[in-house]
Amino acid sequence: MNHIEHLGIAVRSLKDSIPIYEKLLNTPCYKQETVESESVITAFFKTSFNKIELLQATSETSAIAKFIEKRGEGMHHVAYAVDDIHVEMQRLRAEGFHLLNEQPKRGADNKLICFVHPKDSSGVLIELCQEISE
């Protein structure tokens, strides 16, 4: 695994949370993107080396809607950049981690992604992400 690519924060409303994060970080949201397969709308911020992703659910069955219902708004996942997601998934499977998808999926911001169950990583949902080279 490489650096932390971004932190994901579950929010009820991007309309409410984007202005708060713009004020907090003193930088504008640089991108909003809907990810149909995950039933989310995302909003991204950059500060120096760091990237923050706000996530709002687009359906009641979305992982984000379930998370907020159970635990309220807050830190949802830590995403690590990887060079080769297939190799990393194979390594983690061999180490006994429970991967939440069989194959990498296309995520926001031009990434291939895969999640690791939070129960296997001390209560933190982990995302692997590999930049898609066109």
Residue 134 DSSP class: -
Closest contact distance (angstroms) between CB of 117 and ligand CMX is 6
The three-point CA angle 31-32-38 to 5° equals: 130
**CA 78 remoteness from chain centre:** 7
Which residue's beta carbon is nearest to the bound ligand CMX? 63
Longest dimension (CA), the chain: 44
- Residue ranges in 107-126 that form contacts with ligand CMX under rule CB under 6 A: 107-108, 115, 117-118, 123, 125
Task: Give 23 or 104: the residue with its C-beta nearer to ligand CMX.
Answer: 104
Residue 41 CB, nearest approach to ligand CMX (Å): 10
How far, CA to CA in Å, does 17 sit from each of 11, 47, 54, 68, 108?
A: 7, 17, 8, 14, 18
Q: Is residue 66 a contact point for ligand CMX (CB under 6 A)?
A: yes
Residues at the interface with ligand CMX (CB under 6 A): 8, 35, 38, 40, 55, 63-64, 66-67, 70-71, 76-77, 100, 107-108, 115, 117-118, 123, 125
